[in-house]
Chains A and B, each alone.
Chain A
Amino acid sequence: MLSKSNHVLSFAKDLHSILGKQVLVENRKFVQILTLNRPKQLNVLSSYMVSRLLELFLAYEQDPGVRLIILKGNGRAFCAGGDLASPFQRITQGDWRLGADYFWKEYNLNYVIRTYDKPQVSILNGIVMGGGAGVSVHGRFRVATENTVFAMPETASGLFPDVGASYFLSRLPGFFGEYLGLTGARLGGAEMLACGLATHFVPSVRLPLLEEELCKTFLNDAACVSQIIAKYAEKPALNKKSAYHQVDIINKCFSRGTVEEVLSSLEIEAAKKNDDWISLAIQSLKKASPTSLKITLRSIRDGRLQGIDQCLVREYRMICHVIRGDISRDIFEGVRAMLIDKDKNPKWEPSQLDLVTDSMVDGYFSRVDDKGWEDLKLPSRTNYPPSTLAKL
């Protein structure tokens, strides 16, 4: 009896120390440096990491000694997203609600970051996708580098861009957000800066110096942080082939009322002019889950007219429908094809855009009809100052 409980205790201790290393915390005077540390998994956010980050952010907000949070990743990724494998394991094993808990926590973290009182600098020196965007783009400063690769690739795996993406994608210039969200197109650091997803571009060699100066300086306010980053930042030239040069065509096509119209207007453009990015976009749309595409477009369009809180509440409804599989089970097929069998050849159901009806799409935006299910509740944030509110 005694030995068994000892065993449990020591296992818990081990687990804690393993998990504990997933987020490294370094205190530098007024600055807290948080490092996402699962380099082999490209720093995907485990349930533990989400809880830990939330806990740390909330604690630092109360701590007058903390003036700045730096968030970065260990290895070649900043963060490649949420850890889909673990919630989906739990979902397929039993109650979908265990999976929902993960998203509940994650969206709360996204909300806290968006409404945060103190400046946060995210160093995006590598892959930033999905949930990785959720913990950085909502923050005050996003520093991209020549190593940055950004994407919201959810539609390719039967999901939709969540983590408040319907808020930040919809606020990009024109209809660039629809382009990113629907096609999952990749951006480099220069493009992130150009469209506003990043606030600065700093060559990676200068990152250690930047970090050092941020840690050494007495930081009065966000403007002070901004000035320091600006000293290391430069204005990179956009790649000639960058889709961002084509914003006119993107606006023309991605402003359409329906996914079908987006696709057909892209095909018309492709017939006029043979451009790599257009054929890539068409290809991505054709490979993606038709259901995902439709709910993604609606989500971004709704998000443009909503505050961050409404966006997250809506996304939580959507994700619950997605993981319950009550309308389409594409997510399970997506996880199979992308993460388990890795054949990258998902068979979507419904298989075509025209088979996804409006009422199916409506279903994703309705409350979940399940006993005890609740809409997402976000922490009360009544005390933050107007400067933070402006971010809303």
Chain B
Amino acid sequence: MASSDRVTFRTQILNRHLRPSHSHTFSPPVSVSSSPCLSYIPPDLTEPASSFDTKEMRALLDAHNIQDRDWLFNLMIQSNLFNPKLRGHRVFVCPDYNQSMEQQREINMRRIEYLLDRGVFKGWLTDSSEESELRKVAFNERGVVHLDGACVGFSLNLLVSPCDGLKIRSSYPHSSKRQVLLDFRGGAIQFFGTKRHHDKWLKVTEDLGIKGCFSMTELGHGSNVRGIETVTTYDPHTGEFVINTPCESAQKYWIGGAAKHATHTIVFSQLKIEGKDQGVHAFIVPIRDSDGNVYPNIRIADCGHKIGLNGVDNGRIWFDNVHIPRENLLNSVADVSPDGQYLSAIKDPDQRFAAFLAPLTSGRVMIAVTAIYISKIGLAIAIRYALSRRAFSLTPNEPEVLLLDYPSHQRRLFPLLAKTYAMTFAGNHLKSVYVKRTPETNKIIHVLSSGLKATLTWHNMRTLQECREACGGQGLKTENRVGNLKAEFDVQSTFEGDNNVLMQQVSKALLGEYLAARKQSRAFKGLWLEHMNEPSPVILPQLTSSSLRSSQFQTDIFFLRERDLLNRFVAEVAAHQKQGRSKEHAFVLGHLLAEDLGRAFADKAILLTFIEAEANVSTGPLKNAAAAREEVMKLCSELRPHALALVSSFGIPGAFLSPIAFDWIEANSWPSSQQVP
């Protein structure tokens, strides 16, 4: 910004402080007396020109594969499969909320086939380069903008996340003769299998897609994978594994794709060799023929209607002495020889289990970045609406005040907007450490993905609720999306690890590092705990505006909070252990501190990654985001002129927002009401 512009800008801001917001300089002159009927005035015309380039800002936020993302938007907008609807002369790709669960599942399948046919999934499973992985994540994030009960986005999400229960994959109708496994979970075979599986399954899966699913969760066990009850034994005479569901609580549950479509599944099961339990292993099991008939000894039932994601056919599976070839064991960490010897390079079962499950972090990475994208949709809708909807005049005959000119409305939405920005950079950081992962970074990825998955999905729910309320009655309409997004994404706090359980994992890891550092008398290393090596930061008793806004101060208080909670958590666990309780029991009793500590860690991570991102951009738009962050701490009103540009920078095409984000008067006019059922 030129210095003269800056002067003008500051003057305007000061002006707005001095004058009440209802008369703020950018309000269009709408006279209530002369025009009793309201007309829609697009904020794009009345808001001040953005002080930064929204395209550049978007490039920073999205960080990678921008052309690919836009291509996916193009594919969705231009296909009738995504149900384009004309509202107020604009097209919205708005789900059809009158469809039944069955219809949603059907259309969802066709959407996946469409995208598959257009080449969207090319390299999805076979190309594991960093570049390809980022592309996957990008599509995953974007796909979800069309999320609804019958939405492909969610399936895309599931496509790439090798984790818990809810998944779906696509099938390619012309290739039904070729029995190939499509691993929906985006890589369970890739991760858990070895070359023999990759060669056999991956390429055919990606290209032609037989339908696969991922059977980990059971009725009786979810987050506690080690507790699952499905049992697999080995028969050396036939060279086959035999899988059984020994009791009702062992039935596989929430298996995405299982109810209708899947032809194969990856079963997680206890492996018993000569009576000895070797822990949880994964097996490829055919469950249906290509005509959709369920194989003998397999029973499948539907999970039924859900609060969201009804386009995904979650099912339940029982196995009754199902025989599969020995080669179908996904043998990344252990194998069984033809004569029935259990072989594993990792002797310790705990370590083996940890190594086995390490790939599941990818699901949490996907969920975290998806959640933050959904928050952007909610905020873009609520803020655009608040820039055109007015309520109450402050003085008679004065124009009514724009919702977003009320400090209270700003206070509701702007902190969430600022957090969404910060969390976007945290999500980007997580993505980049994930795609560059090495065995050494597994631990940090586990901790970071756990903390951020929980924090970002909780943030998303909170943001959507606030946005729903901020849209008033219009927020109730499903066509305005925000309310439905709540239902669709609620489950994010549960799958791929319950948020509370994940936060405890974070605290355990922090505690582990604390104890290790103390025991070995070494400095803290990793998890951004190095600040523990320094003296405790001192917070001045008298806080000024400028100190509140300094990143040094902000970092200090986040460090201080984490340090304090970690010290107290360590002390509490130690105290419980001193009273003779086990370490595990001590953790359970220390849950209050553990959860707070988990949050403190995640918040710190978000702040640090954001400050780092800021430092990496020497000029240009991020400075404003930095300004946004600072200013939101104290003066939402200073953010007010940037509101539109900040949500425009999300780069979400209008078609993926909703009618209230645009001309909601026209969208609700009588003629419009005659067009739409």
Contacts and interface: CB of A to CB of B under 8 A. Distances in A.
Interface string A7-36: 000000000000000000000000000000
A386 B45 CA distance: 12
Given A301-B71, A386-B40, A256 B89 contact: no
B651 to A, nearest CB: 8
A256 B653 contact: no
Given A256-B119, A257-B68, A261-B119, A386 B74 contact: no
B89 A255 contact: no
Given A385-B39, A390-B89, A257 B70 contact: no
A175 interface: yes
Interface stretch (A104-112, A127-135, A205-213, A302-310): A302-310
A389 B45 CA distance: 10
Contacts of B77: 304-305
Given A302-B70, A382-B28, A390 B666 contact: yes
B663 interface: yes
A216 interface: no
Contact of B73 (A173, A174, A257, A305): A305
Contacts of A257: 68, 71, 118-119
B398 interface: no
A390 B39 CA distance: 13
Secondary structure type dominating chain A contacts: loop
B88 interface: yes
Interface string B63-82: 00001101101110111000
Task: Report, as a range, how many residues of chain A touch the other chain.
Answer: 20 to 34
A136 B73 CA distance: 28
Interface string B648-677: 000001010000000101100000000000
Contacts, number: 58
A3 to B, nearest CB: 50
A252 B71 CA distance: 14
A386 B665 CA distance: 9
A252 B67 CA distance: 19
Given A255-B118, A261-B119, A304 B40 contact: no
Interface string B8-19: 000000000000
A305 B39 CA distance: 25
A86 B209 CA distance: 56
Contact of B70 (A173, A174, A305, A382): A305
Nearest to A375: B53
A298 interface: yes
B596 interface: no
A391 B88 CA distance: 10
A381 interface: yes
A363 to B, nearest CB: 14
B249 interface: no
B42 interface: yes
Contact of A386 (B46, B73, B119, B666): B666
A298 B663 contact: no
Nearest to A307: B44
Contacts of A251: 78-79
Nearest to B91: A171
A382 B45 contact: yes
B60 to A, nearest CB: 16
Interface string A249-260: 001100111000
A175 B45 CA distance: 30
Given A174-B79, A255-B118, A390-B663, A305 B653 contact: yes
Interface string A234-259: 00000000000000000110011100
Given A385-B39, A390-B89, A252 B117 contact: yes
Contact of B74 (A261, A304, A382): A304
Contacts of B45: 381-382
A255 B39 contact: no
Contacts of A307: 44
A305 B28 CA distance: 27
Given A386-B663, A390-B88, A390-B89, A256 B73 contact: no
18 contacts: A175-B78, A251-B79, A252-B118, A255-B75, A257-B71, A257-B118, A257-B119, A261-B119, A298-B67, A304-B77, A304-B78, A304-B653, A305-B70, A386-B663, A386-B665, A389-B663, A390-B88, A390-B666
Interface of B: 28, 39-40, 42, 44-46, 67-68, 70-71, 73-75, 77-79, 88-90, 117-119, 653, 655, 663, 665-666
Interface of A: 173-175, 251-252, 255-257, 261, 298, 301-302, 304-305, 307, 358, 381-382, 385-386, 389-392
Given A386-B666, A390-B88, 19 more contacts: A252-B118, A255-B75, A256-B118, A256-B119, A257-B118, A261-B119, A298-B67, A301-B74, A302-B70, A304-B73, A305-B77, A305-B655, A382-B45, A382-B46, A386-B39, A386-B40, A390-B89, A390-B90, A390-B663
